[in-house]
Amino acid sequence: MLELSKRLSIIAGLIKEGSGVCDVGTDHGYLPAFLYLSGKAKKVIATDINEKPLLSARKNLDRLGASGVKLFLCDGLADVEDQNVDTVVIAGMGGEVISGIINRARFLRDSAVTLILQPTTAAKELRLFLAKNGFTVESETALAENNKIYSIMCARFDGDTYSIDDVRSVIGLLKPDNDAAIAYIQKQYKIAQKCAEQLKSANNKKEEYSYYLKLSDKLKEILGG
C-alpha cells in the first residue's frame, strides 16, 4: 500500500469513508491514489492548473494501479462543478490562492460540501476570507513536518458571516494541547514579538506596534505565560 507523508496522512484521516473527493492542485497525485486504492472514497477525482504536474499525477496513478482516478486540467474547480463531489481538498498552496479557488467555485456554497484546507502560507488571510464569506471552520489540526508547521482546517459553508479577533486570525481554533499546536502558537508568538520589537521605535507606526504588542502578550498568555 502507498505510504503517504505525515501531512497527507492527516488529510486522508480527515476524509469520511465513502466520500466523493476532489483533490485540487494534486501535483504528484499521491492523495487521490491513496484514497482510491484504500477504498476510503467512493469516488476520487483531481485537478491541477498546470499540465506538467497533471502528467506526473497520471504517471504515478497508473504506476500505482489507480488509473480510475479522473484528472482535470483546470483552474481550481472550474471544470468539475458537475462531478458530484462532497469533499474538496485544497492543500499545499498559499492561503490567498486557496481563497480565490473557493471564491470562484460557487457550488462550494453548500453545507453538504466539506472543505479540507492546508495553506502553506497566509493562513490568517484564509481564516479571514472564510469568516467573511460564511464558511465555518469546524476543526483545525496542527502538523509539524520537515521543519515546517502547518494548520489543516475543516470548513463548511453555512452562510453566516462572522468576525474573528486578532488571536483567532493567527492561530485559528488551535489550543496548546499537543506538541504541534504548541509549536504553531509559539511560531505566531515569535513573529508577533519580533514585529513589535522592530516597530517599537518607529514614531509613525504606533498603531501597528500596539497591535503586535497586544497580540504577542495574548499569545504568551495562551502558551501559559
Ligand X SMILES: C[S@@+](CC[C@H](N)C(=O)[O-])C[C@H]1O[C@@H](n2cnc3c(N)ncnc32)[C@H](O)[C@@H]1O
24 binds ligand X (CB under 6 A): yes
119 in helix, strand or coil? strand
Work out how close the CB of 32 gets to ligand X at its nearest, in angstroms, rounded to a whole number: 10
> The C-alpha cell of 50 is what?
498546470
Q: Which stretch binds ligand X (CB under 6 A): 41-49, 58-66, 105-113, 209-217?
A: 41-49
Residue window 46-85: x/- pattern of binding to ligand X, with contact defined by CB under 6 A: -xxxx--x---------------------xx---------
172 binds ligand X (CB under 6 A): no
DSSP assignment string, 140-185:
EEEEEETTEEEEEEEEEE-S------HHHHHHTT--SSSHHHHHHH
Give dist(CA 219, CA 92) in Å, integer.
Answer: 26
DSSP assignment string, 25-94:
T-TT-HHHHHHHHHT-EEEEEEEESSHHHHHHHHHHHHHHT-TTSEEEESSTTTT-TTS--SEEEEEEE-
For ligand X, the binding residue among 21, 88, 91, 142 (CB under 6 A) is 91
Of 73 and 213, CB closest to ligand X: 73
For ligand X, the binding residue among 71, 97, 130, 180 (CB under 6 A) is 97
Q: Which stretch binds ligand X (CB under 6 A): 13-21, 44-52, 127-135, 143-151?
A: 44-52
Give dist(CA 58, CA 224) in Å, integer.
Answer: 48
182 binds ligand X (CB under 6 A): no
Binding positions for ligand X, 129-168, rule CB under 6 A: none
Which residues in this chain contact ligand X in the complex, by CB under 6 A?
24-27, 47-50, 53, 75-76, 91-93, 97, 101
